[in-house]
Chains A and B, each alone.
Chain A
Amino acid sequence: MKNTIKATLILLASAAMAAQAASYNFKDPKGVNTVRFSLDAPLESISGTTGGVSGDVTFDAAMPEKISGKIVVDATTLEVPNPVMKDHLHGDGWIDSKKFGEITFEITAVKNVKKTDKGVSADLVGTFTLKGVSKEITAPVTFVHLPGKLEARSNGKMKGDLLVLRSKFTINRSDYGIKPGQATDKVAEEIEISLALAGYAEKK
């Protein structure tokens, strides 16, 4: 009898905890989700952004170590201020966005989870795919869970929670077959990527 009660209580607790996990959609209806990239070579500094962000991340504020999901960037939306540089960037010699239209990061593991007064910080291990090449990388990320803030952000159209995700990490363009070892005086090997994204989980 006691064992049955215990088992039932454990089941109920698990169900309650599982219910707090929600899927956050990162296709921002306000269109302000931005990923920035910058390259600093001896002769030239390049910086640009992209707003074509989408993807879904499952997050439970009570168990942040269980986070999973994938962020997708539409490669055709990468923007730099100079039109000639933009043409080169999207061309087949560089990121070839017509052929490889998506840049993705899919979470495979979570490490070093820490809860702070500013949110949750963790190292996300995942598969980063650029120009059709996938590599495992580790990105330090901070999460801020904003329960109930979706209504204010959507001008009352939706109710639910927000999840703000911030990260900064670097990749080497050679690792992804982007003109390896070439033009390094004007286009740096290291690409610094920084992102601040807001995802929403609607509650109906």
Chain B
Amino acid sequence: MKKAAYIFAGLVAIATVVVWSTGGFHTGWTQTRIPVTGTDEITGITYTQYEDGFVPGLDVLGGGLIAAALIVGATLGVQFLKSKKS
């Protein structure tokens, strides 16, 4: 049971890093609107428009790693309580 919990925590941490990497290791906040730049050929104006999308940021990375740490922490806590009872 303990081993399964550690493996699960590890998978959560790895999955979080993988998800974060799909967004190019974005170090800002998670983006759900992606800026796309273009240039108007007549005026030369460079403009920005937004498209719907998802770029995970440090908040997703942090949240996932904290969740993995909580799983490990909870497992250790349960072990500690069990050892105290016995």
Overall SS of chain B's interface: strand
Q: Which residue from chain B places its CB closest to the CB of A162 in the assembled complex?
A: B43
Q: Which residue from chain A places its CB closest to the CB of B53 in the assembled complex?
A: A81
Query: Which B residues between 44 and 70 are near A, CB-CB below 8 angstroms?
Result: 44-50, 55, 57
Chain B positions within 8 Å of A, measured between CB atoms, are 28-35, 38, 40, 42-50, 55, 57
B49–A51 CB distance below 8 A? yes
- Which of B42, B46, B50 contacts A149, CB < 8 Å? B42
Complex: A178 Cα to B49 Cα, angstroms = 26
Q: Which residues of B contact A39 (CB under 8 A)?
A: none
Sample (13) of A-B pairs whose CB atoms are under 8 Å apart = A32-B40, A33-B45, A34-B47, A34-B48, A45-B28, A81-B34, A82-B57, A83-B33, A86-B33, A146-B43, A149-B42, A196-B47, A198-B42
Q: Which residues of A contact B50 (CB under 8 A)?
A: 49, 79, 81
Does residue A203 face the partner (Cβ distance < 8 Å to B)?
A: no
- A-B pairs, 3 with minimum CB distance: A81-B31, A32-B47, A82-B29
Does residue A36 face the partner (Cβ distance < 8 Å to B)?
A: yes
B42–A152 CB distance below 8 A? yes
Q: Which residues of A contact B33 (CB under 8 A)?
A: 79-81, 83, 86
For chain A, the bracket of interface size reads 20 to 34
B32–A82 CB distance below 8 A? yes
Q: Which residues of B contact A198 (CB under 8 A)?
A: 40, 42-43, 45
Query: Which A residues between 31 and 55 are near B, CB-CB below 8 angstroms?
Result: 31-34, 36, 45, 49, 51
Does residue A193 face the partner (Cβ distance < 8 Å to B)?
A: no
B31–A34 CB distance below 8 A? no
Query: Which A residues between 42 and 98 are near B, CB-CB below 8 angstroms?
Result: 45, 49, 51, 79-86
Complex: A83 Cα to B50 Cα, angstroms = 12
Would you give the shortest CB distance from A62 to chain B, in whole angstroms?
Answer: 21
Would you give the shortest CB distance from A85 to chain B, in whole angstroms?
Answer: 6
Q: Which residue from chain B places its CB closest to the CB of A195 in the assembled complex?
A: B45
Complex: A45 Cα to B29 Cα, angstroms = 10
Complex: A144 Cα to B46 Cα, angstroms = 15
Q: Which residues of A contact B48 (CB under 8 A)?
A: 34, 36, 49
Would you give the shortest CB distance from B86 to chain A, in whole angstroms?
Answer: 46
A164–B43 CB distance below 8 A? yes
Q: Which residues of B contact A144 (CB under 8 A)?
A: 43
